[in-house]
Structure 1
Amino acid sequence: MNLTEHFEDFGRRDWETDDLEGTVRLALIGAGWFTREWALPGVERAAHTEPTVIVDVDPERAEALADEHGMTHLTPGEFHDGVAQTEYDAVYVCTPNATHLEYVETAAATGTDVLCEKPMEADARRAAQLVEVCERADVSLMIGYRMHLDPVVRRSKEVIEAGAIGEVVQVQGNMSQRMIAELEGDAGEQWRLDPDLAGGGAMMDIGIYPLNTTRFLLDADPERVSASIGSTHEAFADVEEQVAVRATFEGDVPVLFTANHNAYHDSFLRVTGTDGQVIIDPAFFEREDRGLEIRRDGERIDIDVSQVHQLEEEFAYFAECLLSGRDPGPDGEHGCLDMRAIDAIYESAETGETVPVDR
C-alpha cells in the first residue's frame, strides 16, 4: 500500500468549505490559564471568530484581559442576568468541570450556541442534563476535543481506516505530567484537586485524552473497563494522582492507558494492527509539536507533519459549522459516553470488578 496519498497536503482542513462569510462573536466563560494562553489566541487566529466578551469570577483578571484584547468583561452574575447579551453569538465554557452546566443553561435559555470544554461536567448525570438543556433549546453543542481537529490525528485515522496497518488488535497510551511541581506551592488553590469541582483527578483531567482519541481513531467505543487508581503525594488526598485502565472496545480490541499527575512529562498513543503500527508521540499536550511514525514491513517511517495551533483549528471548525448551518461534532452525546466510561472506570477502581460501560 502506498501511504503517500494520505500525507499529501498534510494539514488540509477536510471539513472546510470555500467562500465562507461571516463572523461568530464569542463570549469566553472563564479566564484561567488555558483560556488566556490557548483559547483566546486560538479565537483571535481563526478567520471567522472574534472574542468580544470575557466572563470570570475574578473581576480584576477579567478586566485586565478585556482591556488588553478589546473585550467587554462581565462577572458571572452579570452574564446570568443577560448583560451584554447582544455582543456575542456563541459561548465557550472553560470553567471548573462542575460549573459547566450553569453557564450552558444560561446560554441555552437565550438560544446561544455552545462550545463546552471537556470533560463536559463532573459526572455522567450532570453531563446528560447539559445535553438535555441544549436539545430543549435547540442550540448547537460542541465538546472541545481539540485532538479531533489536529491533522496528525486526522491523517492517522485515514491510514488506519485504509487498512495500512491491517486489523487493529490493540492500543496503548499515556499522558503524564508533574502537575504538583508546576504549581510551585499553590496546590491549595488548584481546583483540579477539589473533587466537588473537578469530579476526579488524573482520569478526568488527562486520562480522557487517550480514551477519547482512541474512540476517534478507531471509530469505536469502550464496552467494559477495569481500572486501578492511587495517590502517593499528599496533595492528592481527595482525587487520584494516577490511573491505569484496561478497556475493551467494540470488536474486542484491548485498549490500555495510564495517566499520572506526578510523573515525567510524556504523552503517546500507539495503535497496533496485524501488519503495522501508527505511533503519535508526542501526542496530547497543546504546547508540544505532535510526532507521527508508521511502522510497517520492518520499516520505521517518520512522517513530516504539519503542526497547527489546535485551538485555532477548533474554533475555526466551530465557526464553520455555525455559519454554514451544520451540526458541529463531537456533540454532547459523544461527550456523555466519555463521562459514562469514566464513571465506570471509577466504579471498577472502587470494586475491583470489570464494569460494563452504559451505552
Structure 2
Amino acid sequence: MAPGKVRWGMIGCGDVTEVKSGPAFQKAANSELVAVMRRTGKLAEDYAKRHNVRNWYDNADALINDPEVDAVYIATPPSSHKDYTIKAAKAGKPVYVEKPMALNFAECNEMIAACKAANVPLYVAYYRRAQPKFIKIKELLESNKIGDVRFVSTTHYQKAAEDVKNKHNPPWRIKPELSGGGLFFDLGCHTLDILDFLLGPIKDVQGFASNQAGYYRAEDIVTGTYQFESGIHGVGSWCFSAYEDVELNEIIGSTGKITFSTFGPDPVLLTTVYGTEQWSFPPFQHVHQPLIERIVADLTRGFSQTPSTGLTGARTTWVMDKLVKSFGS
C-alpha cells in the first residue's frame, strides 16, 4: 500500500458507482481510485475518463493484479462477489464488497475463510452503519432513552415499478441467479443489517415468502419474525406489489419508542411520556463516504473502527436465507 494512502481498484462500473460510491473513493482523505474494470472495455474507459481515473480494464484479474491497486471494491451483482473476493484475497488485497454480501450464507462463509487465510480484511457496503442518523439512534438506545427494548417492527411495502414488469428484459435485481432473490434481497437487507447494528445479532428466524403478483420469478412478499440474542423480538413485512409506498421501523421499549425510516429523509422520532423529540439529517451526496473513510483509517492507521465487516454482512445474509427458505421449497 502507498504510504498513508489507499489506492483502490473497482470491479464493476454500474449505476451504484456513479454517485453513491465511486466519487467517495476520490473525496475521502488518504484515498484514491486508480483503476476501474467493466467487461465492456469501452464502458470502463468512458467511466475512467468521466471520473478522472487513470487506468481501466475489461478483465478483473488484470485489475486485481495491478501493482498500483492496494485494495479492491467489488461493485458487481452478488453472483460474482464470492469469486472476485477470493481472487483479491489470494492477491493479498483487502476487499470492500457490495451488499448483499453474496448469493447465500454459504458463499459468505467461503469469502470470510478466504480473507482470513490470506490475512486481509473484508468489508461489506452496508454504509448506513457509519452515517450520523443511525449512529444517533444507537446512542439513544445505549443511553436508555426508551428503557428496556421489547421489540422492533418493520413495515416496507411499495408499488411495483414498471421495469420489474418487463418480462423480456427484467433488471438483474429480480433475477435470483444474479441477486440471490427479489427486491427483498436488494432492499430488505439494508433494514435487517441496520437492526443488527442497533440491536445486535439475530439468533432465531421464521418466515414466509411468496410471489403474489407474478411479474417475475423471485419472491415479491416476505413476512417474518425473529428473536435477537439479547431477547428482543422482531417482526417484519416486505411487499413489492402494493398500492402505495410505505417504509417504517419502530423500536419499542418499556418507556418509549424510536421511529425511523431506513431509506427516506424522515426525521428520527423519540416518543416518551414527556412528548416527542426529533432529529433530522441532511442526505449525503455520496452515501458510501462515511464508511469508506472509516475503512481507509483502518487500512492506513490500523484503527479498528469499521462497523461493517464480513462477519456482520454474513449475519444479514443468514437472516434473509431463513426468511425466504419456504419459497420454492
Asked if these proteins are the same fold (TM beyond 0.5), I'd say: yes
| Contiguous gaps of at least 5 residues in structure 2 | none
Write the distance in 2 (CA, Å) between the matches of 1:149 and 1:340: 22
Structure 2 counterpart of 1:249, one-letter code: F
Q: Does 1:339 align with 2:321?
A: no
The 5 A counterparts of 1:230-245 are 230-236=210-216, 238-245=217-224
1:43 aligned partner: 25
Deviation at 1:132, TM superposition (A): 0.7
Match of 1:296 among 272, 296, 317: 272
Match of 2:204 among 217, 224, 227: 224
Write the distance in 2 (CA, Å) between the matches of 1:170 and 1:29: 39
Write the distance in 2 (CA, Å) between the matches of 1:59 and 1:269: 42
Kept in 1: contact 2:127–2:308 (CA 8 A):
no
Write the distance in 2 (CA, Å) between the matches of 1:223 and 1:350: 24
Kept in 1: contact 2:266–2:280 (CA 8 A):
no
1:326 aligned partner: 303
For 2:288, what is the secondary structure of its paired residue? helix
Deviation at 1:121, TM superposition (A): 0.6
2:40 aligned partner: 58
Counting matched residue pairs gives: 323
1:198 aligned partner: 179
C-alpha change, 1:314 and 1:262, in structure 2 (3 Å) is: farther
C-alpha change, 1:61 and 1:24, in structure 2 (3 Å) is: same
Structure 1 counterpart of 2:224, one-letter code: V
Deviation at 1:125, TM superposition (A): 0.9
C-alpha change, 1:223 and 1:350, in structure 2 (3 Å) is: farther
TM-score (norm 2): 0.90
Write the distance in 2 (CA, Å) between the matches of 1:201 and 1:149: 26
Q: Does 1:118 align with 2:119?
A: no
For 1:87, what is the secondary structure of its paired residue? coil
For 1:44, what is the secondary structure of its paired residue? helix
Write the distance in 1 (CA, Å) between the matches of 2:48 and 2:160: 28
Kept in 2: contact 1:175–1:206 (CA 8 A):
no
1:104 aligned partner: 85
Write the distance in 1 (CA, Å) between the matches of 2:26 and 2:63: 24
Kept in 1: contact 2:203–2:227 (CA 8 A):
yes
Deviation at 1:203, TM superposition (A): 2.8
Query: Could you list the per-position Cα deviations for residues 166-224 of structure 1 after superposition, in whole angstroms to 9, with x for gaps in the alignment?
Result: 01111112344446325684862411222111111133111112211111111x22222
For 2:21, what is the secondary structure of its paired residue? helix
Deviation at 1:110, TM superposition (A): 1.3
C-alpha change, 1:105 and 1:249, in structure 2 (3 Å) is: same
Structure with the higher fraction of residues in helix conformation: 1
Kept in 2: contact 1:148–1:213 (CA 8 A):
yes
Deviation at 1:87, TM superposition (A): 2.4
Kept in 2: contact 1:241–1:262 (CA 8 A):
yes
2:241 aligned partner: 262
Structure 1 counterpart of 2:237, one-letter code: T
Write the distance in 2 (CA, Å) between the matches of 1:94 and 1:177: 25
The 5 A counterparts of 1:1-359 are 22-71=4-53, 72-75=55-58, 78-81=59-62, 85-178=66-159, 180-181=161-162, 185=166, 188-218=169-199, 220-236=200-216, 238-263=217-242, 264-281=244-261, 283-284=262-263, 288-308=264-284, 309-327=286-304, 328-348=306-326
CA RMSD of aligned residues (A): 2.3
Deviation at 1:306, TM superposition (A): 5.0
Write the distance in 2 (CA, Å) between the matches of 1:24 and 1:184: 42
Once the two structures are overlaid, the 10-residue window that deviates more, 78-87 or 197-206, is 78-87
Deviation at 1:346, TM superposition (A): 2.1
Deviation at 1:82, TM superposition (A): 5.3
Kept in 1: contact 2:208–2:224 (CA 8 A):
yes
Deviation at 1:153, TM superposition (A): 0.5
Deviation at 1:92, TM superposition (A): 0.9
Q: Percent identity?
A: 23
Write the distance in 1 (CA, Å) between the matches of 2:164 and 2:324: 26
Write the distance in 1 (CA, Å) between the matches of 2:151 and 2:71: 39
C-alpha change, 1:135 and 1:84, in structure 2 (3 Å) is: closer
Write the distance in 1 (CA, Å) between the matches of 2:253 and 2:328: 32
For 1:173, what is the secondary structure of its paired residue? strand
TM-score (norm 1): 0.83
Structure 2 counterpart of 1:221, one-letter code: P
